[in-house]
Chain A
Amino acid sequence: MLNYRDLDWRVIGAALLLSLIGILLIMSAQHDADSVYRQHFYLRQLVWLLIALTAFVVIIHLPLRLFDVSAYLFYGITVGLLVLVLMVGSSRMGATRWFSFGPINLAPSDIAKLAVLLALSRFFAYTKLPPESKRRLAMSAILTILPVMLILKQPDLGTSLVFWVILFVLWFWSGLSPVYLVLILSPLASLIAASHWQTWALYFVVLLVFLFLTRPGMLFSVIVVAANLAFGIITPFIWNRLAEYQKLRILTFLDPGRDPRGAGYQIIQSKIAIGSGGIWGKGFLSGSQTRLDFLPERHTDFVFSVLGEEFGLWGALIVLALFGIIFYRAIRIAVRCRSRFASMVTMGATAVLLFQFFINVGMTLGFMPVTGLALPFLSYGGTSLVLTWTLIGLIVSAHYRWQEY
């Protein structure tokens, strides 16, 4: 039996509060929906929360070692299932999207996130290869890319980024030299600088000097230079020669959920909702943006906008604080754990939550692109909630068992 007093109640409490706020927001978001079915979304979410809490309770009672030893098995089964679904699903439209367990449908991407997290954690916990070894980098990258390729016949930028973030953060956490980390991120900088070629050229020279000084190995250097060239020159070169509709088509292809009504409609409506909420908000069930249907996807992707509109700045700050508690505690737990596996899992789980939080909230505030990434705890969606609570379960379990190796 667990000694419940030793559980990390700060994390559990924050997570529980966030989940309940989420249910309130979903209730408000669909309060005036034209179908009773939609009006009852919050009840469905409540049922999902019970399932998620059950999963959480089961996870904290299981020994962490179990996840450690079965990580590759779980990964293998997941990949196998993904292959199976892909083959079976090819005959039926859309069947690849979900795993069905009786009445419960799970999004494969959420299961895959967990599988990749556990497998990478185990890999980094036990590998004897030095952090900079090519084999180590390559193997961890392959572990990540395999399920991504299987899930995403159509590359959904937001979701696939979550996997790369797990990989990158675990590289960092397992001690990869900052030189490498910087170089790995360098193509992103190229992409940002690409619009202004003088800036990019200057940046590229700096990059070459950096490579010369640090000498990270021939193959790695070549890959970095090639990636920077690709992002910095070739991409804009091709991009500028595309017609407007072709660009739009590619953007839509990369991100199917983006902006169905055009002209940044969702973002504009979300900003109006949050901004019009002001400091004190319009009050529960009283957001006109929400109530009158202007806010798109308001119970899923834009649930934070409902929060901003109805509860204003103070409501948003409370939610931010609750997230802050979880992130802070999780990082402290990751540092404290004696088990490398537990540390890796905790850090990876934190990365998933933080990344999704930042992308989603950033999107509603208008400084991040529109992606289909859900806001942990708050967005409507059963799988997302179960995964989130599974991650919380792993974090709480790591805290409880911090002395175990």
Chain B
Amino acid sequence: MQRTTLSISHRETISLLIVLVVLLFTIGGLVKLQILEHEELAEQSENNRIRVQPLVASRGTVYDREQRIIIDNRPSFTISIVPSEAKKDITVPNLAALIGLDTAEVNRRLRRNRVSRYQPAPIMRDAPFEMVAVIEEQAGRFPGVSIQMEEVRRYTADLGSVCFTGYVGEVSEEERRRSTDIDYRLGSIIGKKGIEKKYDHLLRGREGTAYIEVTASGQSRGPYEGKPPTPATAGADLELTIDIDLQRECVAVLDTFCCGAIVAMDPRNGDILAMISYPDFDANIFSSVIPESLWQAIMADSTHPLLNRPLSGLYPPGSTLKLLTIGAGLEDGLITENTTFKPCYGGYQFGNRYFRCWNPAGHGNTNLIEALEMSCDVYLYQLGVKLGIDRLSYYLDLCGFGKKTGLGLPGELAGLNPNSEWYDREYGKTKWSRGLVLNNAIGQGEILVTPLQLTQFFCGLANNGAVYRPRIVRKMMFPDGLEVTIPPEIIRQLPFSEHTLELLMEGARQVVQGEHGTAKSLRDERYSLGGKTGTAENPHGENHSWFVGIAPMETPEIIVSAIIENAGHGSAVAAPAVKRIIDIYMGKKLGWSIANSPDTTESE
């Protein structure tokens, strides 16, 4: 079939038209971008080259009750590699040799922390000054290695304070997801435990922003003139109720033992004067990059340094609970101050089981004061039988056991206050003997308490039954000068009448002051000490040793409870330990020279 062919002039016209269309298209595109969308795109071009750089706020300082530093910040050096300036086969091997890591590890950190070719990727935080000096002096050997100054958290050494200070670390993915009010960045420092975590929002302050001109690959060109920086706001300082002198004495006291915990509180306001978990770990290790081996060693340590004993260590209260049992008996009208049960001949037959008293020689006939003074188990067995499991549990509950103390630090446990319902659930209905109440009455059995709970209970006894919320932060000092005091707060009243409380306190006094007191060796003419010893049976080994001290007995100002694990009788081990701490307190108050206490001035 014959086709029409375009003439040469038609072809020419078509070709020229195509060229025209192409040029018009192009001009149209140019006009659209450069005239119609010019303003918008010009603004985008400005934003494009400005990077918002966070200015990290200085984290708040934490003081003790006398304005001595517990946590502050110190400058540190971070060794980084700027990838664009690093030389292959020189930088990494030389740096690895200097900082004592293998090249594979350095390369791993380089990859993990790399943001862009021009931004320093941290390799080692908190590097020692000697390393920094070598890098500065022999810069030629370390091309692309740069040093940055960063503030890191400094926890005053040897205070045993990590159980309440906690520590800080880089924010985790999960924490970033969960946080709604604060916009954490990758690498932001956040409180991980303790006060650092609970008061993180105050301590951290508010980040500022600097505007810097950058290239597309992130290389800085210096500050951008168009926008002045917003300065960072430093975090609030906190004043704690802790007394460093007592805290140091706690460390000294526990230093000779394997493991234990001490809590010192002021019954008049719930102030925690000292609190220690022993052994613990140095919160400063989290400031730099923790060597894997150190972390492994902490994790594998059989003494559990990561266990926060005062808040989450669960122990049977032992005989220290006897005050509660007797208080319950008095309130329920089962006994009076003159009631005596069957005399103690070293044990008590209940059903087909024989329950021993701790003293095989027996205590003979005792009233409740004497039962407390000598810690007679047999008296308490007989009272326990009358009281029954659920009544005892009822009083335990009203005294704050089986629930958190209200301190509010993360990780605190509630302990265990078993009642018959609990036993039914645990062992099955009718599968458990009523004899269990005998154990519970003397603080053995299934009841579990934390050292803080027990201290809080004794504070209530010593403060006419009014129980304060434990307070550890008493003042917040904001950078603008605003100071906010956290007032003491009564959170419950013990279910004991004034008369009951008087009797219980008299029992506690006799424990030290009485002729037969289990802690009579602590007697001291300078002040009147009371308290209660305890021995918590430990199925896994040697018994735990408890003592809760109260001083001065006339108007109690300090309660110190100590548990020393696997140390035997409370009277022998925990009681002298508590005495040493109360001595420091009374010494400061009455103006003695404080014997055996370490230098109280700041070590740095």
Binding site for B on A (CB under 8 A): 32, 34, 131-132, 172-173, 175-180, 215, 269, 271-279, 288-289, 292-296, 308, 312-313, 316-317, 320, 323-324, 327-328, 331-332, 334-335, 347, 350, 354, 357-358, 361-362, 365-367
Residues of A within 8 A of B23 (CB): 320, 323-324
B37 and A320 within 8 A (CB): no
Chain A binding surface SS class: helix
Q: Is the CB of A293 within 8 A of B30?
A: no
**Given known contacts A132-B3, A292-B213, A313-B35, A276 and B22 CB-to-CB distance under 8 angstroms:** no
How far, in angstroms, from A362 to B24 measured CA to CA in the complex? 11
Given contacts A274-B30, A278-B34, A361-B26, contact A324 B19 (CB under 8 A): yes
Q: With A177-B5, A178-B6, A277-B34 known to touch, is A292 a contact of B214 (CB < 8 Å)?
A: yes
When each residue 180-218 of chain B gets 1 if its CB lies under 8 Å from chain A and 0 otherwise, what string results?
A: 000000000000000000000000000000000111110
Of all chain A residues, the one with the shortest Cβ separation from B84 is A34
Which residue on A lies nearest to B3, using beta carbons? A177
B residues near A361, Cβ cutoff 8 Å: 26, 29
In the bound complex, do residue A288 and residue B5 qualify as a contact, i.e. CB atoms below 8 Å apart? no
B19 engages A328 (CB within 8 Å): yes
User: How many Å from the CB of A331 to the closest CB on chain B?
Assistant: 5
Within 8 A of A (CB), among B24-68: 25-27, 29-35, 37-38, 40-42, 44-46, 48-49
Cβ-defined contact, A320 with B27, below 8 A: yes
Q: Is B11 an interface residue (CB 8 A)?
A: yes
Q: Is B221 an interface residue (CB 8 A)?
A: yes
A274 to B9 CA separation, bound complex (whole angstroms):
38
- B24 CB to closest chain A CB (Å) equals 10
Q: How far is the CA of A273 from the CA of B34 in the complex (A)?
A: 9
Residue from the list A34, A278, A362 in contact with B25, Cβ < 8 A: A362
Alpha-carbon gap, A173 to B8, bound state (A): 8
- A331 and B19 form a contact (CB under 8 A): yes
Query: How many of chain B's residues touch chain A, expressed as a range?
Result: 35 or more
Q: Which residues of A contact B41 (CB under 8 A)?
A: 271-272, 274-276
| CB pair A289 B48 closer than 8 Å | yes
Instruction: Tell whether, in the assembled complex, residue A292 and residue B221 are in contact, meaning their CB atoms are under 8 Å apart.
Output: yes
Q: Which of B12, B16, B42, B214 contacts A278 (CB 8 A)?
A: B42
Q: Is B1 an interface residue (CB 8 A)?
A: yes
- Tell me whether A276 and B44 are in contact (CB under 8 A): yes
Q: Which residues on B sit within 8 Å (CB–CB) of A177?
A: 3-5
Given contacts A292-B213, A292-B221, A366-B29, contact A272 B16 (CB under 8 A): no
Which one of A175, A277, A279, A308 lies within 8 Å of B5 (CB-CB)?
A175
> Is B42 a contact of A275 with CB atoms below 8 Å?
yes
B349 on interface, CB distance cutoff 8 Å: no
The answer to the question of B219 belonging to the interface, with a C-beta cut-off of 8 Å to chain A, is yes
Is the pair A288, B48 in contact by a Cβ cutoff of 8 Å?
A: yes
Known: A32-B215, A334-B12. 12 other contacts (CB 8 A): A274-B33, A276-B44, A289-B48, A289-B49, A293-B215, A294-B216, A308-B30, A308-B33, A320-B26, A324-B19, A328-B19, A331-B19
The complex places the Cα of A180 from the Cα of B46 at a distance, in Å, of 51
Report Cα–Cα, A358/B28, bound state, in Å.
Answer: 13
B14 CB contacts on chain A under 8 angstroms: 172
